[in-house]
Amino acid sequence: MKKIDIFNHIWPKPFHEALIDHVGETTDITRRSEAVPMMTDLDRRFEVMNMFGEDYCQILSLASPPFEKYADPDKSLDLAKIASDSMAELCQQYPDRFPGFIGSAVMNNPDAVVEEARRNIEDLGAVGMQIFTNVGGKPLDLPEFEPFFEYMAKSGKAVWMHPARGANFPDYLTEDQSEYEIWWTFGWPYETSAAMARMVFSGLFDRHPGLNVVTHHAGGMVPFFEGRVGPGWDQMGARTTDRDLAAVRKALKKPHLEYFKDFYADTATFGSATAIKHAIEFFGEDHVMFASDAPFDPEAGPMYIRETIRILDELDIPEETRRKVYQDNAAKLLGLSI
């Protein structure tokens, strides 16, 4: 069976050059991305991919951080276009290696985001669009982002949601920044979970039926806290007196836990078999897809791919489920021929 890696990251050469031309030199998280050879060196990417045989292929997406970290809305749009055009060209040149790419939504440019999403999907053939869990600190359920989700629901293509949080988000209110990279280790799973909750309780999925969202890193914290998410939130409002939160939950068209289970999740868990198994149990075998998060591992490329494949091959699940996770679910959601 094919192994379709639906969430890994790249900086195509034209995008990388445009980025450096804009920022001068990389710092912090951008430097982390640039320092990994597989991110910018296509030959090295192919060397790593060759380690896992002809059946291994990648759906391409840009790496962190979001555009608003280093560009204004207009420059963000310019960089997004370069990135999407470059990834589309790679898919045309190497269709067996890269059967699809995910466009980058310029959420910090609400006036252009829908048209750029349309261009990606309808003109360039993107299999979906990538967003981040917040937009410069703004939650995704604000009205200014509604047209984007409306378009994506109508397009039939999925939204890939990547966590975003930096060291400037402190662990404690008395501090100015996060310590020990807690902002990444625990902050990113929290970001994913919080964004999922805002989508659910704001009624986004009721307003836009058919909207599909792929969560990175096995759905963040949600599967592990099913009890708090389900029965815990059945008591929404019991802890709050300044507004009627019970009315929020009751306004949803179905029980809130069902919306959380409707998300898709990937297997990019940095080698945790338990996390992958739990994601399959929570989201269901039809809503989990193989992903590695390459090349952000201690070996700069092969480790997370190798370990995720090992886990999936050894996991005590039916062969039909394994096939769904590796290829069938992605083929169906992304519209791929396999």
pLDDT tens digit sequence for 94-138 = 999 999 999 999 999 999 999 999 999 999 999 999 999 999 999
Task: Quickly state the pLDDT bin for 30 (edges 50, 70, 90).
Answer: low
Task: Quickly state the pLDDT bin for 28 (edges 50, 70, 90).
Answer: low
pLDDT digits (tens, 9 = 90+) for 13-27: 999 999 988 987 765
Nearest alpha carbon to residue 59 among 268, 200, 231:
268
* Residues of the domain holding 317: 3-334
3-state secondary structure of 288: strand
Peptide bond before 95: cis, by omega within 30 degrees of 0?
no
Confirm if 325 and 285 have CB atoms less than 8 A apart: yes
Per-residue pLDDT, averaged over 82-91, amounts to: 98
What is the number of alpha carbons within 13 Å of residue 98 lying toward its C-beta? 25
Token digits for 222?
Answer: 């949600």
The contacts of residue 265 (CB under 8 Å, 6+ apart) are 214, 215, 218, 219, 223, 279, 282, 283, 287, 288, 289
The contacts of residue 333 (CB under 8 Å, 6+ apart) are 158, 212, 214, 264, 289
User: What is the structure's pLDDT at 29?
Assistant: 52
Confirm if 106 and 148 have CB atoms less than 8 A apart: no
Identity (one letter) of the amino acid at 327?
A: Q
Cα–Cα distance for residue pair 87/75, rounded to 1 Å: 18
Identity (one letter) of the amino acid at 51?
A: M
Nearest alpha carbon to residue 114 among 144, 79, 72:
144
Domain with 296 in it: what CATH number? 3.20.20.140
Confirm if 277 and 284 have CB atoms less than 8 A apart: no
136 C-beta neighbours (distance < 10 Å), count: 12
Peptide bond before 295: cis, by omega within 30 degrees of 0?
yes
322 C-beta neighbours (distance < 10 Å), count: 18
pLDDT digits (tens, 9 = 90+) for 232-278: 999 999 999 899 999 999 999 999 999 999 999 999 999 999 999 99
Cα–Cα distance for residue pair 104/93, rounded to 1 Å: 20
Nearest alpha carbon to residue 214 among 139, 165, 268:
268
Tell me the pLDDT of the chain averaged across its residues: 95
Asked whether the predicted pLDDT for residue 168 surpasses 80, the reply is: yes
Task: Quickly state the pLDDT bin for 139 (edges 50, 70, 90).
Answer: very high
Per-residue pLDDT, averaged over 159-186, amounts to: 97
Mutual angle of helices 110-118 and 146-155, in 10-degree steps: 10
User: What is the structure's pLDDT at 338?
Assistant: 79
Confirm if 215 and 161 have CB atoms less than 8 A apart: yes
Token digits for 169?
Answer: 């988000």
What is the four-CA torsion angle of 72, 73, 78, 79, rounded to 10 degrees? 60
- CA dihedral sign of residues 122, 57, 104, 311: positive
What total of structural domains would you count in the chain?
1
Token digits for 142?
Answer: 């604000």
pTM over 0.85: yes
Token digits for 240?
Answer: 């709050």
User: What is the structure's pLDDT at 27?
Assistant: 59
